[in-house]
């Protein structure tokens, strides 16, 4: 599902260059749940943004579901994201003027799919918010907002889902609930899951843990 080769990301500020990623290589088989871990500043979120086509690398290659994305322009990347990638943000990123159901339905509407309502209703039921479907984000708790975000990420049936600290803004009870929903939805939909997390307990649920430090891979553990 993912092939990453010699991936580098640097930021230049005047005469000063900061190397965030310094040559990353790994592959992710279809259907695998991989957790990316590392201390703050190790390059985890930068790597996830590159894999999702939200940013472009300085050099190197990213092949997503058989398609090279590292050299695509923004319009082409947007098409890839819309068709192949679901993304869950730590800060939910719901549209405040849309109801919970409308937020879930949004990816289908952006793709021109006029028949997405049954799928959206099915997903909001699966995350336990059927009775809150007409509420706006401001009327929902943090845990409920993240459950809406999860459902939205699965709306287009993407072959790969990426999550950046999906439980980072939640208390332990809500975080566990969101994690359980994420894992059950992921198993039901058969997607590949790539997740950045600081939480070692959360990472124990992954098939594999990739560890970064100072922009390089320092550990790659396959779990049984």
**Confidence category of residue 60, pLDDT binned at 50, 70, 90:** very high
**Confidence category of residue 170, pLDDT binned at 50, 70, 90:** confident
89 within a domain of the structure (yes/no): yes
Which pLDDT belongs to residue 32?
93
Q: Give the CATH number for residue 176.
A: 3.40.50.300
146 within a domain of the structure (yes/no): yes
The 3-class SS string of 8-60 reads EEEEEECCEEEEEEEEEEEEECCCCEEEEECCCCCCHHHHHHHHCCCCCCCEE
Q: Is the pLDDT of residue 220 over 80?
A: yes
**Confidence category of residue 172, pLDDT binned at 50, 70, 90:** confident
- pTM (2 decimals)? 0.91
Question: Residue 139 contacts by C-beta under 8 Å, 6 or more apart in sequence?
Answer: 132
Tell me the mean pLDDT in the region 141-166. Answer: 93
Which pLDDT belongs to residue 185?
83
Tell me the mean pLDDT in the region 69-83. Answer: 89
Q: Is the pLDDT of residue 224 over 80?
A: no
65 within a domain of the structure (yes/no): no
67 within a domain of the structure (yes/no): no
64 within a domain of the structure (yes/no): no
């Amino acid at each position: 599902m993912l092939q990453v080769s010699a991936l580098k990301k640097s930021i230049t500020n005047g005469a000063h260059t900061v190397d965030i990623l310094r040559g990353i290589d790994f592959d992710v088989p279809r259907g695998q749940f991989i957790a990316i871990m590392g201390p703050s500043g190790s390059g985890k979120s930068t790597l996830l943004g590159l894999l999702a086509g939200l940013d472009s690398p300085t050099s190197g290659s990213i092949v997503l579901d058989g398609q090279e994305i590292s050299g695509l322009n923004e319009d082409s990347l947007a098409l890839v994201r819309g068709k192949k990638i679901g993304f869950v943000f730590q800060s939910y990123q719901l549209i405040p003027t849309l109801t919970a159901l409308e937020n879930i339905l949004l990816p289908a509407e952006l793709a021109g799919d006029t028949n997405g309502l049954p799928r959206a209703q099915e997903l909001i039921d699966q995350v336990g918010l059927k009775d809150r479907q007409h509420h706006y984000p401001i009327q929902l708790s943090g845990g409920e907002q993240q459950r809406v975000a999860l459902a939205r990420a699965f709306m287009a049936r993407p072959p790969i889902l990426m999550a950046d600290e999906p439980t980072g803004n939640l208390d332990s009870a809500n975080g566990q609930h969101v994690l359980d929903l994420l894992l059950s939805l992921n198993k039901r939909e058969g997607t590949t899951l790539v997740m950045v997390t600081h939480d070692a307990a959360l990472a124990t649920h992954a098939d594999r843990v990739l560890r970064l430090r100072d922009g390089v891979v320092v550990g790659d553990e396959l779990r049984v």
